[in-house]
Structure 1
């Protein structure tokens, strides 16, 4: 009865209909299901770490974890901070949207960063992404991450100028050339980033396909909303519940639309290659991710799934950091002058080369400081133990355990970052100047270390961070030189939004932008 009232599956004709319950088979099946449910209950109650403390235990008459899950979804920052204060450098248990996890202290970060028995993919995608059609290549497509890392590294060498050109076109279309103040939202910024990324991932033809840009952006938006909706359900129920949530019906529909837009492009390529082969001519070659995946992955891979996954991991996170950094700069307008002076000086001297954007040190520091104060993930180093891992102090992370670490304890550590709640990008410039060797390198945006975990840490740190850093700097250089921007009064002091283990941009954030006369014409520059 409870199951019927929850998801109304009897009306869907899937489980527990009258014909099924009256059949002879069902007489035995009911016993089997009852026994299975008791077995699941027993297994779920069995503790891997009976001697470790739990931060959010069940209360009174709570027979499921749903209340603890909803409490975590709304109070994750407070709970993780309390866990760090209460248990200091000792592991403890915590129930989250990932299920039951072991929160290990940050002192283990260096020891664990290269342990391959701790796998990223299962902990990150299994809990929610695995049920979102189109967003699960990490576990189903071996080599996906390696392909992205390999080709994005190559793209950085030769494709900075095309990215800059697409940024200019996109800003002209989205921000416009009006000298009057115009309202711009994070969705508008995502359109710009999406076109820049698509120029590399999908080539010049598709990056200007308005239907693909629109449909893929709407798909990703719906998918993120679906992930957060699903994360509020107990993990054991997600394989069933997602079929009955209206949001997931929308996600599947949007996936079909994306596939309908992309497939003709893929078919034309295949036809061109087939025609060239039949005529004995050279096979056409394309330098974009559609071609990369066709060359490196299984022949039956789904091109649409691959592109949407790229949109998720590249466009969303890049938009997030660009928007957050623009917010922080708007709150500290005194830094606009130095940022523009640096951009004009470096780009005038070096042009649109990759090395030029590496010299934008103050800009690099602004991104790193914004990411420190408001990263994408609250709980970082999320891993799944594929086998027992014994630490140097004797503690054993047991096979099947999901672990995480408290990112705020690292990023707001006063010993490393004096006045940790103050936005001060110059702290990273000082670090470059005063520290030497490897310590100075940790001040770079792309550096992943145990002192700054915005891009993760260890062997599973973000593989696209070098490309993302370059793309972010190209975008911000255009915005700096071509536009003034500010936060309207009602968007000045918006608090960051946290849902479970993830940060999101503050609800209601927007900008007012106006075209200015740039000191340097980036559009006329060559690589």
Structure 2
């Protein structure tokens, strides 16, 4: 009996293991077949780097992620104005170069190409947040339209939070130079300042809440790099495990739940507007959820998603700019002169930010050289189509443009590898364009924010916030590196580009008026 009992217990396990093995083999064979078919359909597009199938080219993909900037640069130099392809773990990236192809891509209707499908596939957001975001990303118009229209009205709150958090976090450095691990400061400043506009007081100042936001943003960034190495069948489970999104939503409800419940009481009481009604993203999301008859937990999911994009990228951009300022402390005087004059006339307002021409140029130049992703303008072909040069793009193709290579092209920028803080001030003076060279303006030659109708919907808020933070630092602090003129190298990790994570910046309270 004991022997039969043991045998009867082992057999199902063996069968389960065999079944799992068959499923894994079947999935791998399906991926291999898909890879072969995709490779055949793209054989007319030249290959840069490994020439083997994506599924079989993990070494090539590893080499690609180790030198992603170099691989894109190699292809751009050889095929500028054309398309080329790069093999990744389970797919090809078709890389479009030059103004002509980008403008043609920009003009294609949404039924032919999709930014959401491409971005969801590359960043892993499809697996982290669910496929429903692809069919109806209704939070995007809230950011693109309502948040942008609200920038002037919300600037006072944003600046109040910015000033408050800098006073809390920055060390006392009245006379002595003090080393500051600025990337850590930047994440908290961005989380606090952004969420003063996203969810308001008191939640934005809750230590647990903004710790949640920073940690979730870091988890999402790490998950994106790790998901790239997994087959599609495993990505959804891995994404949820890596980001712990269900537990993060529960945690988020602990911080936002009281605010949500209090607002629902007021909404039911007044059936519309009420005295001191909040005018922030959380309120707009709640109103949309009620109209859609969706649970309020979805508000936390959306807030987490918005923050996962905003906190890490904006903190990185702020740190990149501070590193340039610390490496070139002689630039503080002309920037400070401009900020002093404008703030004296306009106060801390959105209008004042629009008049900071030197700072605007400085930030655009910093982003030109330090884009947060090595590629941009992501699109996935929903239908097959052909470019005017005869390049056929089959359905399902993932297309990108090489951001670094575009920004380092001498045909686009004179002395392209050199940081020139006044580059865009001079370009404005040369062609008298009021908006062409602004920080937020996109073009086929400047793709830091993407380009076209699917350019970053939050760039107006982010640029406003970044300039306010930089202006505050310039007015109140002197900054430098211990080694004059030496800016630490950027870190290339997977599909992301980040400022050096170990560097300290020396800060001292402004010494002269």
Partner of 2:32: 41
**1:146 maps to which of 141, 146, 149:** 141
Asked if the contact 1:135–1:308 (Cα under 8 Å) also holds between the matched residues in 2, the reply is: no
Asked if the contact 2:90–2:231 (Cα under 8 Å) also holds between the matched residues in 1, the reply is: no
Q: Secondary structure at the match of 1:113?
A: helix
Partner of 1:175: 170
Partner of 2:6: none
Provide the TM-score with structure 1 as the length reference. Answer: 0.85
Change (3 A) 1:501 1:22: closer
Change (3 A) 1:169 1:232: same
Unaligned stretches of 5+ in structure 1?
Answer: 1-16, 520-527
Change (3 A) 1:236 1:344: same
* 2:334 is the counterpart of 1:335: no
2-side partners of 1:227 and 1:32: how far apart? 25
Q: Equivalent residues in 2 for 1:51-70 (5 A)?
A: 51-57=44-50, 64-70=56-62
Partner of 1:458: 452
Asked if the contact 2:323–2:487 (Cα under 8 Å) also holds between the matched residues in 1, the reply is: no
Partner of 2:293: 299
> What whole-Å deviation, never above 9, does each CA across 1:395-431 have from its counterpart, x for those lacking one?
2222111011111222111123111111102111110
2-side partners of 1:333 and 1:32: how far apart? 60
Asked if the contact 1:136–1:309 (Cα under 8 Å) also holds between the matched residues in 2, the reply is: no
Change (3 A) 1:84 1:329: same
Asked if the contact 1:273–1:283 (Cα under 8 Å) also holds between the matched residues in 2, the reply is: no
Q: Equivalent residues in 2 for 1:366-515 (5 A)?
A: 366-437=362-433, 441-489=435-483, 492-515=486-509
Change (3 A) 1:132 1:252: farther
2-side partners of 1:396 and 1:18: how far apart? 52
Q: What is the deviation of 1:97?
A: 6.1
1-side partners of 2:29 and 2:129: how far apart? 34
**Paired positions, count:** 493
Q: What is the deviation of 1:223?
A: 2.2
Q: Mean alpha-carbon deviation: is it higher for 108-117 or for 34-43?
A: 34-43
Q: What is the deviation of 1:480?
A: 0.9
Q: What is the deviation of 1:130?
A: 3.1
Partner of 2:277: 285
Asked if the contact 2:61–2:88 (Cα under 8 Å) also holds between the matched residues in 1, the reply is: yes
Partner of 1:195: 192
Asked if the contact 2:124–2:227 (Cα under 8 Å) also holds between the matched residues in 1, the reply is: no
Q: What is the deviation of 1:283?
A: 8.4
2-side partners of 1:163 and 1:221: how far apart? 23
1-side partners of 2:350 and 2:408: how far apart? 31
Asked if the contact 1:497–1:503 (Cα under 8 Å) also holds between the matched residues in 2, the reply is: yes
> What whole-Å deviation, never above 9, does each CA across 1:119-147 have from its counterpart, x for those lacking one?
11111122442366459884265321111
Q: Mean alpha-carbon deviation: is it higher for 335-344 or for 395-404?
A: 395-404
1-side partners of 2:19 and 2:189: how far apart? 59
* 2:235 is the counterpart of 1:238: yes
**2:209 maps to which of 193, 209, 212:** 212
Asked if the contact 1:65–1:234 (Cα under 8 Å) also holds between the matched residues in 2, the reply is: no
1-side partners of 2:485 and 2:283: how far apart? 42
* 2:223 is the counterpart of 1:226: yes
**1:160 maps to which of 143, 155, 158:** 155
Asked if the contact 1:497–1:505 (Cα under 8 Å) also holds between the matched residues in 2, the reply is: yes
Q: Mean alpha-carbon deviation: is it higher for 490-499 or for 214-223?
A: 490-499
Provide the TM-score with structure 2 as the length reference. Answer: 0.87
Q: Secondary structure at the match of 1:269?
A: helix
1-side partners of 2:489 and 2:186: how far apart? 20
2-side partners of 1:29 and 1:211: how far apart? 41
- Supply the RMSD in Å over aligned alpha carbons: 3.0
Q: What is the deviation of 1:261?
A: 2.2
**1:19 maps to which of 12, 20, 32:** 12
1-side partners of 2:368 and 2:273: how far apart? 53
Change (3 A) 1:191 1:63: closer
Change (3 A) 1:236 1:44: farther
Asked if the contact 1:69–1:234 (Cα under 8 Å) also holds between the matched residues in 2, the reply is: no
* 2:116 is the counterpart of 1:121: yes
Change (3 A) 1:513 1:137: farther
Asked if the contact 2:27–2:233 (Cα under 8 Å) also holds between the matched residues in 1, the reply is: no
Asked if the contact 2:83–2:391 (Cα under 8 Å) also holds between the matched residues in 1, the reply is: no
Asked if the contact 1:272–1:284 (Cα under 8 Å) also holds between the matched residues in 2, the reply is: no
Asked if the contact 2:216–2:308 (Cα under 8 Å) also holds between the matched residues in 1, the reply is: no
> What whole-Å deviation, never above 9, does each CA across 1:480-516 have from its counterpart, x for those lacking one?
1111222234994421111233211123122222223
1-side partners of 2:229 and 2:28: how far apart? 21
Partner of 2:4: none
Change (3 A) 1:419 1:110: same
Q: What is the deviation of 1:380?
A: 1.3
2-side partners of 1:444 and 1:95: how far apart? 35
